[in-house]
Amino acid sequence: MATLAELQEELAELKAARTRVLKAQSYGHGSRSLTRVSYADLQRDIKDLERRIAMYDLDGAIAGDSVVFGGHRG
């Protein structure tokens, strides 16, 4: 499992990539071309990492979720 620092670093890198995609999705020079990852894929990965980072703050729990055993809350 990745550390919180590793997740935060990866999130920063994804956000930087998203900025580059917004500026130029693809470009070419002569016979060479480059196409960056899709914006939707980056957004999905960013949301996933933000969720994983939030889990660190909640000691592994997912915000808003709770487990009910036996079908009763009480």
Task: Report the pLDDT averaged over residues 43-53.
Answer: 91
Question: How much of the chain, in percent, has pLDDT values that exceed 90?
Answer: 19
CA distance 51 to 20: 23
Mean pLDDT of 31-48: 85
Q: What is the mean pLDDT of the chain?
A: 80
The predicted model gives 11-39 an average pLDDT of 82
What is the pLDDT, as a whole number, of residue 62?
59
Domain ranges of the chain: 4-57
CA dist., res. 25 & res. 21, Å (int): 5
As a whole number, mean pLDDT of residues 36-60 equals 84
Select from 36, 44, 39, 50 the least CA-distant residue to 7. Answer: 50
